[in-house]
Structure 1
Amino acid sequence: MGKFSGKVIEAFAATGIGDAKRLGGELRRLRLMSGLTQHQLAIRMSVQQAAISKIEKGGEVFLSTVQRYVEGLGASLRVDARFPQDAPLALKFTEAFDVECGDDDQLILPILGDDLFKSQRDVVLSIKPEYSTKILDGRKTVELRRRFPVSAPSGAIAYIYASAPIKAMVGIAEIRDVFKLPVEQIWNEFQTSAYIGRDKFDRYFEGLREGYALVFEGVRTFSRPLPLSELREKFGFEPPQSFLYAKRDLRKALRDEPAIVSH
């Protein structure tokens, strides 16, 4: 692996010829810093050396090509959408969740690349009742995701929100491990513990080569489910489509035991 193994390289959108040339020059600089020749990188990318030369001279480059280029350096590519914090979409998220903010008070939402798990954060997972009940009774010990921060530390807390028709926060689990694996390997290793049939599994991961498996332990059912109406009233909570970081006051109330919330 090169000097950039495990690093994340930030890319920008090339909107004109000047930007494309600048991107090519920056990629070349990174290659030289990594100690690779064009020939060596071409071998890693399974392309001709002429293709590397074209990229670095500012030729037309697709995002997928940039991704393969930086991965050939031993790095990874992450693309984020940045919104002003006063934008309607940003307000919708920041009212209910602690989200990552960058420079100039921007809300950052990841689009491409592995999410980076924030330290000292808890997450809310939205799970269908057919699966959440199995998690709480101990039958389902692995939750599958199309996307999740593989860097989540062992012991991170996941709050389980059971989606419609229950629409309530029902329990808590510790995330022991997060695995990013080829989809077929996920099926071979976790089909039983994930408690899912092959047809539903294939539909869920359709179009993906890799997925994520979250291994749970320390599962605990709340003394009473917290309905969505109450979560909205007390915390401005809106259920995530997949997962989001829980807002600070919601985390504190749920960690202390949901009975406190009703006081």
Structure 2
Amino acid sequence: MSYNNISAEKILLISVKPEFAEKIMNGEKTIELRKSAPKKVSKDSYILIYVTSPVKELWGICRINNIIKEDPFTFWNNYGDKTGITETQFKDYYKTNQNAFGIELKDIRNFSKYSIELKQLKKAFPNFMPPQTYSYINSDKINFSVLKLILNKIENRASIRS
């Protein structure tokens, strides 16, 4: 995956608990669940995966394959095995919701080994605050040179180790 065509309008930043981030990075979880769908992104938009406390690091980048909206029963029947959670956890998460939303992930690049910590993120994204669920990165609030430097460093390290 090349990062040269990343545009700020297409970057979604999601916060994920460490246990689920690990499942995304190892391919066990290919659908990220949400109670509401992100509206400013679409198929092929980029997603940065931020891992919540106690990790507090950026672990990956991927793209959106699809944004799914179904009633919870139908969602679980169609996609449950891709969510990285049990049916009980799923039902508990959506117990008061009429709709279940999922972001189907593709082109997942794991750079958890390279530890992009919160202080580095704040250089790339002035005023960076980890989102509760997700947020958008606006073009006037991003230092693309620092972000591309970080991503290219990761890409170069990954290709050396391959």
TM-score range, shorter chain: 0.7 to 0.9
Question: Which residue in the other structure is 2:56 paired with?
Answer: 167
**Rounded Cα–Cα distance in structure 1 between residues aligned with 2:67 and 2:143:** 24
- Aligned-partner residue type, residue 185 of structure 1: T
**Rounded Cα–Cα distance in structure 2 between residues aligned with 1:146 and 1:251:** 30
Matched-pair contact (CA < 8 Å) for 1:150–1:180: no
Tell me, what secondary structure is at the counterpart of 1:240?
coil
Structure of larger gyration radius: 1
Q: In the alignment, which of 116, 124, 127 is matched to residue 236 of structure 1?
A: 127
Identity %: 26
Deviation for aligned residue 1:175: 0.4
Deviation for aligned residue 1:233: 5.4
Question: Which residue in the other structure is 1:246 paired with?
Answer: 137
Q: In the alignment, which of 46, 60, 70 is matched to residue 181 of structure 1?
A: 70
- Aligned-partner residue type, residue 65 of structure 2: R
**Rounded Cα–Cα distance in structure 2 between residues aligned with 1:258 and 1:224:** 12
TM-score w.r.t. structure 1 length? 0.49
Tell me, what secondary structure is at the counterpart of 1:173?
strand
Question: Which residue in the other structure is 2:31 paired with?
Answer: 142
- Aligned-partner residue type, residue 237 of structure 1: F
**Rounded Cα–Cα distance in structure 1 between residues aligned with 2:94 and 2:143:** 31
Higher relative contact order (CA 8 A, sep 6+): 2
CA 204–253 in structure 1, closer or farther in 2 if over 3 Å, else same: farther
Question: Which residue in the other structure is 1:225 paired with?
Answer: 115
**Rounded Cα–Cα distance in structure 1 between residues aligned with 2:133 and 2:49:** 11
Deviation for aligned residue 1:207: 0.9
Structure 2's unaligned 5+ residue stretches are: 1-7, 155-162
Matched-pair contact (CA < 8 Å) for 1:179–1:212: yes
- Aligned-partner residue type, residue 106 of structure 2: E
Matched-pair contact (CA < 8 Å) for 1:124–1:240: yes
> Is 1:209 paired with 2:102?
no
CA 216–251 in structure 1, closer or farther in 2 if over 3 Å, else same: farther
Report the RMSD for the aligned CA atoms in angstroms. Answer: 2.3
Tell me, what secondary structure is at the counterpart of 2:103?
strand
Deviation for aligned residue 1:211: 1.7
Deviation for aligned residue 1:232: 3.4
> Is 1:198 paired with 2:87?
yes
CA 217–178 in structure 1, closer or farther in 2 if over 3 Å, else same: same
CA 120–247 in structure 1, closer or farther in 2 if over 3 Å, else same: closer
Deviation for aligned residue 1:255: 4.6
CA 247–187 in structure 1, closer or farther in 2 if over 3 Å, else same: same
